[in-house]
Amino acid sequence: MGSKSIVGLAGALIIVLVTLSSVYIIPETHRGVLLRFGELIETDIEAGLHFKVPVIDQVREFDVRLLTTDLPSRQYLTIEKKPLDVDSYIAWKIQDVDQFYRATGGDEYRASELLMSRVDNGLRDEFGVRTMVEVVSGQRDELMITLTERVNETAQKEFGIQVVDIRVKAIEFPGQVSQNVFRRMATEREKLAQEFRSRGRELAEGIRADADRQRTVILAEAFAKAEEMRGEGDAGAAQIYADAYGSNSEFYSFYRSLEAYQKTFANEDDIMIIDTDSDFLRFLKDPQGAR
């Protein structure tokens, strides 16, 4: 190969390298800026194929999709001076590439730090004018909307960043406070349980007293009814005896004497000393019972 061919090949290679170094491509999800000797000469370069001066120009690309930044857990005080540990995050994206580059030097980490500082101050202010109940449930959505609008307005003006959303992931009591809250809750529940037990014992005593009273009334009524029936029975029996005695008094006397003899001489060892002329023995002396 001759020297002319080598020179021609080297020249062609240099041209290719220069051409390649003069061309750059911005992806669809990014925007770019063009620097010449470190000075910004073109901003917000759209996606596509572009040209630059080799060696002299430098291209920086920035992702303009939605980005999220998790904030470290921070402690804030409510209006009642109660501490709360809060975990939150920011959803943001680059809106003005020129302003973003000038404010942060194109460093996303720097941008996140600036946003976190603004959100931290905003959360401290918003928590400081609300009660614990309001920040936990009552006005939580309103708090997030207000904070997002405030931080977004500042971020657009200062950093060229649009803050799409700020959300609180979790709100918790600090360790010692949580234990105190749990103890207070346990004490309140125990107090409530004691009230229910006392009320239950009171109701039970009332039910027992009422049952005892009803039992006493029922027994008294039953006893009265039994005595009444027993009296009626005794009266009926006496009437029967009287009627029987009246219909045949001699037979009745004889029957009662036989019963008396049977009870008196029930055992062989029974001894009775009595006058033979006693009226008790008249049926033994005379079956007719003559006196």
How remote is the C-alpha of 101 from its chain's centroid? 49
Element (H, E) at 68: strand 67-77
> What is the reported pTM?
0.55
Please give the pLDDT value at position 265: 65
> Binning pLDDT at 50, 70 and 90, where does residue 159 land?
very high
Write the pLDDT tens digit of every residue in 201-231.
Answer: 888 988 998 898 999 899 889 988 988 898 8
Q: Are 54 and 24 in contact (CB under 8 A)?
A: no
Mean pLDDT of the chain: 81
Q: Tell whether the model's pLDDT for residue 291 goes beyond 60.
A: no
Q: Which residues pair with 62 in a beta bridge?
A: 31
**Assigned CATH for 67-172:** 3.30.479.30
DSSP secondary structure letters along 197-258: HHHHHHHHHHHHHHHHHHHHHHHHHHHHHHHHHHHHHHHHHHHHHHHHHHH-HHHHHHHHHH
pLDDT in tens, 3-52: 666 666 666 666 656 666 788 888 998 888 888 887 888 888 888 888 88
Average pLDDT rounded to a whole number, residues 263-273:
66
Coil/strand/helix, residue 263? helix
Q: Where are the alpha helices (DSSP H) in the chain?
A: 3-22, 97-104, 108-128, 132-133, 140-159, 175-247, 249-264, 282-285
Angle at 131 between CA 129 and CA 137, to 5 degrees: 115
> How far is C-alpha 67 from the geometric centre of its chain's CA atoms?
35
